[in-house]
Amino acid sequence: MPRGAVRSSLGILSAGVAVVLASCRGEPVGDALPPVPDPEGFAGSFAGTSNGLVVAGGAHFPDRKPWDGGTKVWTDAVFYLDAPAGRWRRVGRLPRPLGYGVSAAWSGGVVCAGGSNAGGHFADVFRVTVSGEGSRVDPLPPLPITVANGCGAIVGHRLFVVGGQEAPASTEALATAFSLDLSSPDATWRREPPLPGPGRILATAAACGATLYVVGGASLAAGADGKAQRTYLADGYRFRPGAGWDRIADLPRPTVAAPSPAPADDRGFWLLGGDDGSHVNFDPPAAHPGFSPAVLRYDAAANTWTAAGTLPAPRVTVPVVRWADRWVIPGGEVRPGVRSPEVLSFRPPHGN
């Protein structure tokens, strides 16, 4: 595939049908996955692989939508899909209802870090594994601080957690960066150099080879009412162990809460939609048109962003999981307050 933009489009079909990423020869390579077994679906779930696909935690509005006075409810459910053509099973529970943390697959399990529920933000870190008919949760060293709405990815054998929000009422976003050596049973969290630029929530991370990328997100500041107000960001940074952070080319547009960690290959990564801020405070909220469908390709060698198609069914506040020969986007937000149980999947172009 030529270096630079993916020249064919990325398309998503709705209702549990596949996301299709066409190869450079224009060949669609996708197939369907069954929806998560909840009528509403969840945003902010943890996800990864452990003898199959695992989706756990997250939150939704099961009774009424927020504009009708509905209350956000977090779940502790652990769902498991053993094969793309299989059926989801509920196989266990998290230590507590939890969502909006960082998750990644590692050594046969799903590592979950931080997160929130109705009671606040947490520093908990644990590993979920599935075998037989059930799941197991093993604790890992907790984060040095409570963190939710951050981003992260695994680079080599280190899990990175970057940015986020320390408490629900925080009016300043974090610029912190922590890493944990998952290959060492005695490891503790290491405080890395902070992210340059403003602290941010809901940024998107990506791991390309030995490099961590963090792009977009929103900074926070106290508004006239004392509550946190967001500023949508378009800047991006890369972290290379031993070399620290440096700034990369800005995004063509601000992007908040795009699926993370972004699907990547050894030449760059794809940014799948996200909230560009163009419909903030949309009224009436029930008619919100949804989030940006634009797909961007970042070329690491050229340090450039290029348009790479559109998403007919964009989702935000949702993880991305590499499962066998495909990437999977399980659930997420269709628009503010509205979740989806659809599980979208696509395969990378040939040769990646």
Break the chain into its structural domains and give their ranges: 10-346
Predicted local confidence at residue 27, as pLDDT: 28
Element (H, E) at 333: strand 333-335
Q: Are 42 and 58 in contact (CB under 8 A)?
A: yes
Give Cα 262 to chain centroid, integer Å: 7
Bigger pLDDT: 19 or 79? 79
Pairing label, strands 102-106, 190-192 = unpaired
Q: How many residues does the chain have?
A: 352
Q: Are 178 and 125 in contact (CB under 8 A)?
A: no
Distances (CA, A) of 16 to 35, 37, 88, 99, 119: 6, 12, 13, 22, 32
What pLDDT digit, counting tens, does each position of 127-140 carry?
999 998 799 999 99
Q: d(Cα 57, Cα 47) in Å, to the nearest integer?
A: 9
Q: d(Cα 122, Cα 142) in Å, to the nearest integer?
A: 9
Predicted local confidence at residue 174, as pLDDT: 98
The reported pTM is: 0.91
pLDDT at 68 over 70: yes
Beta pairing partners, 24: none
Predicted local confidence at residue 324, as pLDDT: 82
Q: Is 285 left (phi over 0), alpha (psi -120 to 50) or beta?
A: alpha
Q: d(Cα 114, Cα 201) in Å, to the nearest integer?
A: 13
Q: Which of 27, 11, 9, 19 is nearest to 308 (CA)?
A: 9
Whether domain 10-346 has CATH 2.120.10.80: yes
The mean pLDDT value for 28-48 works out to 84
What pLDDT digit, counting tens, does each position of 305-352 carry?
999 988 878 999 999 999 988 899 999 999 999 999 999 987 765 444
Sheet hosting strand 292-299, strand order edge to edge: 264-265, 268-274, 292-299, 304-310
Q: d(Cα 61, Cα 101) in Å, to the nearest integer?
A: 18
Bigger pLDDT: 273 or 24? 273
4-13, 196-205, 214-223: segment of lowest average pLDDT? 4-13
Distances (CA, A) of 127 to 110, 139, 147: 5, 6, 17
Beta pairing partners, 126: 112, 139
Q: What are the two backbone dihedrals, phi and then psi, of residue 66, each rounded to the nearest 5 degrees?
A: -60, -35
The mean pLDDT value for 48-63 works out to 97
Predicted local confidence at residue 31, as pLDDT: 54
Q: Which of 112, 167, 169 is nearest to 141 (CA)?
A: 112
Q: d(Cα 129, Cα 144) in Å, to the nearest integer?
A: 24
Q: d(Cα 17, Cα 73) in Å, to the nearest integer?
A: 27
Number of H-type helices and E-type strands within the chain: 0, 33
Q: Are 66 and 73 in contact (CB under 8 A)?
A: no
pLDDT at 15 over 80: no
